[in-house]
Amino acid sequence: MPFLGQDWRSPGWRWVKTEDGWKRCETFSHALQDGNNQLNDISHTVIITGDDENEEVYNTEDCEFAVKKRKKDHFRNNTNSQCFYREKWIYVHKESTKERHGYCTLGEAFNRLDFSSAIQDIRRFNYVVKLLQLIAKSQLTSLSGAAQKNYFSILDKIVQKVMEDQYNPRLIKDLLQDLSSTLCILIRGVGKSVLVGNINIWICRLETILLWQQQLKNLQMNKQVNNGLTLSDLPIHMLNNILYRFSDGWDIITLGQVTPTLYMLSEDRQLWKKLCQYHFAEKQFCRHLIPSEKGHIDWKLMYFALQKYYPIKEQYGDTLHFCRHCSILFWKDTGHPCTASDPNTCLMPVSPQHFIDLFKF
User: Do the domain assignments include residue 265?
Assistant: yes
184 lies in the same domain as 144: yes
The domain of 255 spans 248-309
User: Do the domain assignments include residue 232?
Assistant: no
pLDDT digits (tens, 9 = 90+) for 129-150: 999 999 998 888 888 888 888 9
Q: How would you classify the pairing of strands 347-350 and 320-323? A: antiparallel
Last residue of a domain, one of 292, 309, 326: 309
Q: What pTM value is reported for the model?
A: 0.67
124 lies in the same domain as 209: yes
User: Do the domain assignments include residue 106?
Assistant: yes
User: Do the domain assignments include residue 177?
Assistant: yes
User: Do the domain assignments include residue 8?
Assistant: no
272 lies in the same domain as 212: no
140 lies in the same domain as 209: yes
Provide the domain count of the chain: 2
Last residue of a domain, one of 167, 201, 218: 218
184 lies in the same domain as 259: no
User: Do the domain assignments include residue 116?
Assistant: yes
Last residue of a domain, one of 263, 283, 309: 309
**Confidence band of 50 (pLDDT split at 50, 70, 90):** very low
User: Do the domain assignments include residue 227?
Assistant: no
Residues 6+ apart with CB under 8 A from 182: 136, 137, 140
114 lies in the same domain as 206: yes
Q: 193: alpha, beta or left, given left = phi > 0 and alpha = psi -120 to 50?
A: left
Of 105-119, 183-197, 232-246, 319-333, the range with the lowest mean pLDDT is: 183-197
252 lies in the same domain as 213: no
Beta carbons of 271 and 298 less than 8 angstroms apart:
no
* CB-based burial, 315-339: b 16+ in 10 Å, e otherwise: ebebbbbbbeebebbbbeeeebebe
User: Do the domain assignments include residue 84?
Assistant: no
pLDDT digits (tens, 9 = 90+) for 289-341: 777 667 678 888 888 888 888 888 888 888 999 988 888 888 888 878 888 88
